[in-house]
Structure 1
Amino acid sequence: MWDDRSVTTEQPQTQPIPAADTAGATPDEDRATELASRGDSRSQRPTSDQFRRFIASGWDETVPEAEPLPSTAYTPARRDALVRSVPGTRMVLPAGVLKVRSNDTDYPFRPDTAFAYYSGLGTDEEPDSVLVVEPSAEDPERAEATYFFRPRAGFDSNEFYADARYGEMWVGRRPTLIEAGQRLGIEVRHIDELRDHLAKDVGAQLSLTVMPQVDAGVEAMVEEIRTQNGLPGGDEAAEEAAHLAETASEQRLVKDAYEIEQMRAAVDATIRGFQDVVRELPAAVAHRRGERVIEGTFAAAARAEGNGVGYDTIAAAGDHACTLHWIRNDGAVREGELVLIDAGVEIDSLYTADVTRTLPVSGTYTAEQRRVYEAVLGAADAVFAVAKPGMRFRELHETAMGVIAARLEAWGLLPGTAEESLAPEGQWHRRWMVHGTSHHLGLDVHDCAQARREMYLDAELVPGMVFTIEPGLYFKENDQLVPPELRGIGVRIEDDVLVTEDGVENLSSAAPRTADEVEAWIASLWG
């Protein structure tokens, strides 16, 4: 899956103003009050004192003991590494905010990756919360962490029944401060105490920075506190924030044991989703928008197995496979064509897989489809053969390109030799594979994206890295430089791999890869 980004807006918060408060208001103030209260015009919630007393009574107030999250065995070491890399700094890691989809409906919440990595929280916990990581006063190479969030409100509060953003009757039960502390193993405070905590002791000996572009309100708070305490603003403040984002990305380049376990689970769930898709291929063929049938089948598996999909599923049949980020998925799936499916399950811990298989819709590849498929498979296998500790990450792509260029030369598609094409001034082969061969994988489908070049493309492979191997060839139906029999064929084969002591382990090997294996797999699932 290759990088694509979208921007949404923050959820506006409006509070109705009681009519009694508007006496003597100016016309402009009356208009502002009217606009602010419009969203409340359809409310039918009761407001009597009797109702409030009644709804607050008769509830079981038992709070069960909470168990520590499995991730808490690993998060202290992650935070210690962070304070060593960003010394003398109080670091603010917001979870993020709800984002509007339309009017008063929000997109499903997914916390920021750095927040999830250093807190250990996953799924949809918790909008508007903040993790603060800073050096210990006793030992500056050890981290202290404090989690700030809005805890569960009492049954006697209006929030319990009347607040559609936080109320337990609306969005479910939130943990108490005690429960959150038991789960995370760190100090937990109410979100209302955040500002005072951030401002304490900030100055010459302790800087303050925030993960950028996650929560505009928290960023503004940090900027204000920096100004009040004599810390520089502008480019210098932005550079501190960028360094925090860069450090958090680079720290995730090598996965710990917990992360590797989660990646295995995400890949396994993804392969089960692919099996469901294969079973539903006949249904996809029968539907006018068969690509949506494929997308929906995988989405159902992802929701059943985990948090959901790790990115928008690509279900690209026929020529659509030659559009690298085909996520519209509104086309037909036709007999005799190929369908390229690029999909990954994001499990509850938020680790995601990223697997691609290109399947023959009829169950068997044509001679031309098989020729392209085996060229791509040869490129992938060449990378598997050489990938090992000590190899540089960029060399994975160079290896795949060597095979791709040689195949295209043999087919007579290059205006020169493969050697000439592989030279920097050539690159003709990239017409048919414009993307890279590998990207890191983890909490983000394109994990560690803020890492420096020397830590990513130019870095040596080390055990614990997890990334993709995904060469492809894409011959668009209007490409007049390829023979007619190849036009409209797009193939990508993508696997998720773990670097070991002497090579790489294919985590997604349970999904068949060779043409013969894929055909046998489809036949077995169609029964």
Structure 2
Amino acid sequence: MSTDVNNSAPLQASEGQPLEERGNNRSQRPESDAFKDFMGSKWAPRTAQARAKAEVAAHAARRRRAISEKFRGERLVIPAGPLKVRSNDTDYRFRPHSGFAHLTGLGLDHEPEAVLVLEPTAEGTGDDGGHHHATLYFRPLSGRDTPEFYANARYGEFWIGPRPTLPELNQLLDLDTADLSELEVAITKGAGVVSVGGMRIRLLREVDMNVDALVDTSRINTGVDLEESDKLDALLAEALSELRLLKDEWEIEEIKKAVAATINGFHEVVKVLPRAITHDRGERVVEGAFFARAREEGNDLGYDTIAAAGNNATILHWIRNNGRVNAGDLLLLDAGVEADSLYTADVTRTLPVNGSFTEIQRKIYQAVLDAADAGFAAAQPGAKFRDVHTAAVTVLAERLDEWGVLPVPLEEALSEHGQHHRRWMPHGTSHHLGLDVHDCAQAKRELYLDGILTEGMVFTIEPGLYFKNEDLAVPEEYRGIGIRIEDDILMTAAGPVNLSAALPRKPDEVESWMAGIYSPTGE
């Protein structure tokens, strides 16, 4: 990786040099005025990029209006978050906080350090006749006559390519934009104790430490109670999370795109299974095949891929993916493509590596499939979210009882004081899905677990059974088998729709599908 421009300037003594500056010791960038003047000149003028308003802009505006209704008269601060360091001075690819993305419509890697501020207005004078006026503060593309252009490896166009200008994002999002340098005044002006005429600030905390510090300093300087403010901030995070419980039509289409790309990724995995079998780290072959599809069709992975073969499939969040993939084993692949809009899929299939289930594998697989189907049948408009889990795990408990695995009678196992079956199905059956793979995580319990299934919700159904090699409570023939089946479900007025149904689920269909794409050479 390039680090800087070559130079023959004399080395400077580093005695007393602060540690934070020593990362530049490798730098050989010229510092002469002649170099700086030359770097800032003789560039063709930029062509103004007219941006058509994004389709998502109108949807994002409605979301801002909805959050505005909940917090009239208060300044709302929603950061995107900064770049995150991977190691030393190299960063991860940027992904904005999901609450920020939801209210702005920005996807891809837009825009590090940006902050959305909803400023309260007189009743009826805000955006779309609402109660707030929204402004997006961000670091705009610098001029080519500035040092940032060629000397800033994080933001400079010479290093990372062009970034948007203020007018470009204004046109794209139909949202007022301002330079990030104006943010401090925008956040702190008039802020203070409400009872003496100050403006209350609510902040989406723990997204950007610099913004947290700015708001906290303002609160301290104006005598605002920090403990009470933390509670108020938490209510904003809760509201932003609950706003995502019901997806609009644009969001649903984006999730469908992510699911379609994910199914293509599973197809690619089956193609490389013969090569995976011959590789010492065959799980990495699987992981790599899916990741390639995620980057080709989407923005990234929605989460780290679980490519777990053999006994590794009994480890719920196995992401080391450094094990072998042996013929005769099962491969549990839990993976999802994140679309450019940042909406993700989350799909799991358990595949027979050699294309055919053994008798015991099929028996356990069918039990998990029956549980998934029971969860799907329970997922009807008006039912509670928790009912899906209850239906699925009841089937699993019944199968475990039939196999003689439960150490107590079925009724006792299913009772609140029993739950013995959960040894082999320790996770929940469902979670909401959207911008986050585990979406809406800050929503109140009564709206999530005890919430009513409603049109527009998107969630998973993912029962499983996991029999570890070391588990002496199950017959030896079950040990080392882990199976999960996961689908992405859209709730409509007519009932649930399986968005990932195009990926085979029934054992015979899985075998037939694999036979149609299984390449002897793995190519």
Q: TM range, normalised to the smaller chain?
A: over 0.9
Matched, 1:58 2:51: no
1:341 pairs with 2:333: yes
1:375 aligns to 2:367 (yes or no): yes
Distance apart, 1:418 and its partner CA: 1.7
1:259 is matched with which residue? 251
Residue 76 of structure 2 aligns to a residue in which SS?
A: strand
Alignment partner, residue 55 of structure 2: 70
**SS across alignment from 1:245:** helix
1:181 aligned partner:
170
Establish whether residue 103 from structure 1 lines up as the match of residue 92 from structure 2.
no
Structure 1 residue 48 corresponds to structure 2 residue 40: no
From 139, 145, 150, give the equivalent of 1:161: 150
Which residue of the partner structure matches residue 308 of structure 1? 300
The letter of the residue matching 2:317 is H
Contact 2:301 2:337 in 1 (8 A): yes
1:86 aligns with 2:79: no
CA distance in structure 2 between the partners assigned to 1:421 and 1:37 by the alignment? 62
Letter of the 1:252 counterpart? R
Shift of 1:241: 1.0
- Measured after TM superposition, the shift of residue 51 of structure 1 is 2.6
CA deviation after TM superposition for structure 1 residue 181, in Å: 0.9
1:244 and 1:58 map into 2 onto residues whose CA distance is: 46
> Residue 35 in 1 paired to residue 19 in 2?
yes
TM-score, scaled relative to structure 1:
0.92
- Hey, what's the Cα distance between the residues in 2 that align with 1:80 and 1:54? 48
CA drift at 1:301 = 0.5
Q: Give me the whole-angstrom Cα distance separating, in 1, the residues matched to 2:15 and 2:113.
A: 30
4+ residue stretches of structure 1 with deviation over 4 A? none
**Counterpart Cα distance in 1 of 2:420 and 2:145:** 70
Contact between 2:80 and 2:115, CA under 8 Å: does it hold in 1? yes
- Show the counterpart of 1:193: 182
Counterpart-to-counterpart distance in 2, 1:58 and 1:82: 44
Determine helix, strand or coil for the equivalent of 2:369: helix
| One-letter amino acid of the counterpart of residue 208, structure 1 | I
Provide the residue aligned with 2:431 in structure 1.
Answer: 439
CA distances 1:307-344 after superposition (whole Å, capped 9, x unpaired): 11000000000000000000000000001010000000
In the TM superposition, residue 130 of structure 1 has moved relative to its aligned partner by 0.6
Find 1:396's aligned residue among 385, 388, 396: 388
Q: In structure 1, what is the equivalent of residue 499 of structure 2?
A: 507
Between the aligned partners of 1:105 and 1:61, the Cα distance in structure 2 is 28
Q: Distance in 1 between matches of 2:37 and 2:346?
A: 52
Q: How does 1:409-428 map to 2 (within 5 A)?
A: 409-428=401-420
Unaligned runs of 5+ in 2: 1-9
CA drift at 1:46: 2.3
| Paired residue type of 2:201 | L
User: Given the alignment, which residue of 185, 200, 219 partners 1:226?
Assistant: 219
> Residue 351 of structure 2 aligns with which residue?
359
2:20 and 2:115 map into 1 onto residues whose CA distance is: 28
1:400-448 CA distance string (max 9 Å, x none): 0110110000000112222221100110100100001000000000000
CA contact (8 A) 1:57 1:155 kept: no
**What's the secondary structure of 2:170's corresponding residue?**
helix
Cα distance in 2 for residues equivalent to 1:238 and 1:250: 18
Q: Which residue of 1 aligns with 2:6?
A: none
SS at structure 1 position matched to 2:17: helix
Tell me which of 452, 475, 483 is aligned to 2:467: 475
Report if the CA contact (8 A) 2:81-2:208 is conserved.
yes
How much has 1:32 moved relative to structure 2? 4.8
Alpha carbons of structure 1 residues 208 and 309: separation in structure 2 relative to 1, 3 Å: same
Instruction: Tell me how far apart the structure 1 counterparts of residues 341 and 16 of structure 2 sit (CA, whole Å).
Output: 43
Query: For residues 32 and 198 of structure 1, do their structure 2 counterparts lie closer, same or farther at Cα, with a shift above 3 Å needed?
Result: farther
Q: Name the CA shift for 1:244/1:31 in 2 (closer, same or farther; >3 Å).
A: farther
Count residues in correspondence: 501
d(CA) in 2 for partners of 1:138 and 1:151? 32
Q: Which amino acid aligns with 1:165?
A: R
Q: Select which of 180, 187, 200 maps to 1:207.
A: 200
1: CA distance, partners of 2:431 / 2:152: 42
- What secondary structure, in the 3-state scheme, does the structure 2 residue paired with 1:368 have? helix
Describe the superposition over 1:8-48 as per-residue Cα deviations: whole angstroms up to 9, x where unpaired. Answer: xxxxxxxxxxx9x99xxxxxxx8553434311111122233
| SS class of match (1:468) | strand
1:233-270 deviations in Å (ceiling 9; x for gaps): 2x201101111111111110000111101000000010
CA-based RMSD of the aligned residues comes to 1.7
Following superposition of structure 1 onto structure 2, how do residues 269-280 of structure 1 map, counting pairs within 5 Å? 269-280=261-272
Q: Matches of 1:451 and 1:472 in 2, distance apart?
A: 25
Deviation at 1:92, TM superposition (A): 0.7
Cα offset, 1:194, TM superposition: 0.5
Return 474-483 or 437-446, whichever deviates more: 474-483
Which one of the candidate residues 297, 315, 320 is aligned to 2:312? 320
Q: Which residue matches 1:126?
A: 111
| Greater CA drift, 72-81 or 219-228 | 219-228
Distance 1:138 1:32, change over 3 A: farther
CA distance in 2, matches of 1:329, 1:419: 38
1:208-231 Cα shifts (integer Å, max 9, x gaps): 021111111101101122233343
The answer as to whether partners of 2:73 and 2:121 remain within 8 angstroms in 1 is no
Matched position secondary structure for 1:98: coil
The answer on whether the counterparts of 2:72 and 2:131 sit within 8 Å (CA) in structure 1 is no
Instruction: Give the structure 2 partner of residue 241 of structure 1.
Output: 233
Cα separation, partners in 2 of 1:32 and 1:185, compared to 1, 3 Å? farther
CA contact (8 A) 1:314 1:341 kept: yes
In 2: Cα distance, 1:242 partner to 1:216 partner? 16
Cα distance in structure 1, aligned partners of 2:20 and 2:443 = 43
- Report the more deviating stretch, 209-218 or 59-68: 59-68
Q: Distance in 2 between matches of 1:87 and 1:231?
A: 19
Match for residue 8 of structure 1?
A: none
Between the aligned partners of 1:406 and 1:31, the Cα distance in structure 2 is 73
Partner of 2:444: 452
Distance 1:359 1:283 in 2: 15
Gap regions ≥5 residues in structure 1: 1-18, 23-29
Q: How far apart, CA to CA, are the structure 2 residues paired with 1:449 and 1:61?
A: 43
Most deviating of 118-127 and 360-369: 118-127
